[in-house]
Amino acid sequence: MINVLQQLASEHHRFSIKDSFSMQPNRVADYSLVAAGLFLDYSQQNISPQVMKSLNDWARQCDLTGKMQAMFGGEKINNTEGRAVLHSVLRAPSDVQQAVLGGELARQVGDTQQRMAELVGQLHNGDLVGFDGRAFTDVIAVGIGGSYYGPKVCAQALKPYTNSQLKVHYLANVDGEGVEEKLDALNPATTLMVVISKTFVTQETLLNANAVKSWLVEGGCDEQNLSKHLMAVSSHVENAIKFGVNSDRILPMWDWVGGRFSLWSAVGFPLACAIGIDNYNELKAGAYEMDHHFMNALLEQNMPVIMGLLGIWNRSFMNYPSLAVLPYSHALRDFPGYLQQVDMESNGKSVGLNGETITLATAPIVFGQEGTNSQHAFMQMMHQGQDKIPCEFIVPLTTHSTLKEHHKVLVANCFAQSEALMNGKSLAQVKTELAAKGLSEQEIEQLAPHKVMPGNSPSLTITMDKITPKVVGSLLALYEHKIFVQGAMWGLNSFDQWGVELGKELSSAILTAMDGEDDTKLSPATSSQLARFMQANQG
């Protein structure tokens, strides 16, 4: 099947997306669908019925459905770590949890969810107090990567659903300036720190957590009272206890919840603090609705499968190196950053499940920014650059804002971009326009080539009625499953991340060198940079 798709791709330069609408009068209806509150229109992709059929045939050949069942059924599909991949069961109803996890684990999950709800309720009611007896007004969540992006992005998206009494802040990066900026705005007496780390050994998180601890002590919290200000979420409960967190303030997670998919576990605690447990449960319900669709819909009518296959077509067969994700929504402005981890940490791999080299191109470079800002930044390159960059537009049809005119302008710009990417502008069109403006023959000849836009760039558009907890849940689950589909088709393990380890090891070696140890193992370039650092920080 790969050969068939390669052959189709080699002939595809003749394919015109624009013209395909007249060849397929029902193209919009054929290439659009609704699932879990989301509407996907992929009619502006560079696909023909033959391409779609071949992609679906290949999916069947790869036993995609069997691989989905293996994931949902709890098989250890993360083969390099010997782990199951069951984050989705955390958003499923309790009978499904029972069936998949069995009695004891399902009970642990239920207890954790209940404890999380209790703690959120206590914080909202002002029942949890700090060292001087005052109720907490602020929660600072310390964590990085998957222990940060999901809650942060959803909290941002769901601002209209936020509880204004309790403010939630996030500390991820290991930059003292960022730490100070954040802590300067907070009062230690009324701040609760939640350390979120699956492993509880992540360097950045522990350094930041210790900095917050010191800030609490300097702010008047004596050692005996420190634990009142601490909470943790981790699968290594013993490490959290060693850090000083009381065991009843530690929410566990399990090794079958991957970091970048962990929002659905107690990692979602800061989000639940921000939007309340009911809204958080709505988010999970939305994600489960997408899970249900993914598990049950035919491949041809299955939103995550369709998006996964389109992405593979563009990346592995059309050889487009990147993917732009463009939310026309202030609420979803950080969604592309979140997606970078979910997509690139999952599928940015070049060996298959058994260590064999994968010959097809895998994960695209994912980037993006909220529209219309993106139009004033990088969209020029999409319209006239040398690479075709497939785009995924995400736009809510209605807004929470009272500025309705703004929303009209926002949506008009979004629709205009996909139209422009597809239509482009031919030389003849440009010349006619310039002539109509009264430019001379010579001026037209000079200017016209610069205004030509080749068009025929593929895009898809996801719309929803409004940004709600449920819709955000289903959007996240849609992308999680899309990425699973792609990893399954490429035959790689989407659930490990060995590539991040070397940088961690070397940073430890460099830190040792900074502390005066021998740096002979470092390259001349790094040694020289290190010497400059040491000189700049003398005394």
Selection from 152, 130, 188, 112 nearest residue 270 by Cα: 152
Angle made by CA atoms 219, 221, 224, in degrees to the nearest 5: 160
In the 8-state DSSP scheme, what is residue 315? I
Nearest residue (CB) to ligand F6P, 165 versus 199: 199
Q: How far is the CB of 205 from ligand F6P (least distance, A)?
A: 5
Contact by Cβ (8 Å): 441, 21: no
Nearest residue (CB) to ligand F6P, 345 versus 370: 345
**Which tokens hold the place of 221?**
């919290």
One character per residue 245-284, x = contact with ligand F6P (rule: CB under 6 A):
--------------xx------------------------
Q: Is 374 helix (H, G, I), strand (E, B) or coil?
A: helix
Using CB under 6 A as the binding rule, whether residue 145 contacts ligand F6P is answered as yes
Using CB under 6 A as the binding rule, whether residue 144 contacts ligand F6P is answered as yes
Cα 401 to Cα 403: distance, rounded to the nearest angstrom: 5
- Kindly state the helix (H) or strand (E) to which residue 367 belongs, with its residue range: strand 365-367
**Which tokens hold the place of 455?**
């068009």
Nearest residue (CB) to ligand F6P, 259 versus 458: 259
Interface region with ligand F6P, contact rule CB under 6 A, candidates 41-49, 141-149, 222-230, 411-419 = 141-149
Counting every residue written for the chain, the total comes to: 539
Cα 6 to Cα 89: distance, rounded to the nearest angstrom: 37
Out of 146, 150, 252, 304, which residue is the one contacting ligand F6P (CB under 6 A)? 146
Report the catalytic residues: 345, 376, 504
Q: How far is the CB of 146 from ligand F6P (least distance, A)?
A: 3
Using CB under 6 A as the binding rule, whether residue 469 contacts ligand F6P is answered as no
Q: How far is the CB of 338 from ligand F6P (least distance, A)?
A: 11
Site for ligand F6P in 56-115 (CB under 6 A): none
Total residues interacting with ligand F6P, rule: CB under 6 A: 14
Residues facing 41 on adjacent strands: 32, 461
Interface region with ligand F6P, contact rule CB under 6 A, candidates 45-53, 143-151, 426-434, 448-456 = 143-151
Contact by Cβ (8 Å): 217, 181: no
Site for ligand F6P in 183-222 (CB under 6 A): 197-199, 202, 205
Q: How far is the CB of 503 from ligand F6P (least distance, A)?
A: 9
Q: Is 321 helix (H, G, I), strand (E, B) or coil?
A: coil
Q: How far is the CB of 463 from ligand F6P (least distance, A)?
A: 30
Site for ligand F6P in 293-352 (CB under 6 A): 345
Per residue, the 3-state secondary structure of 33-77, as one string, reads EEECCEEEECCCCCCCHHHHHHHHHHHHHCCHHHHHHHHHCCCCC
Q: How far is the CB of 143 from ligand F6P (least distance, A)?
A: 6
Using CB under 6 A as the binding rule, whether residue 500 contacts ligand F6P is answered as yes
Burial annotation 109-137 (CB, 10 A radius, 16+ → b, else e): beebbebbbebbeebbeeebbbbeeebbb
Out of 190, 314, 457, 497, which residue is the one contacting ligand F6P (CB under 6 A)? 497
Using CB under 6 A as the binding rule, whether residue 151 contacts ligand F6P is answered as no
Residues that bind ligand F6P (CB under 6 A): 144-147, 197-199, 202, 205, 259-260, 345, 497, 500
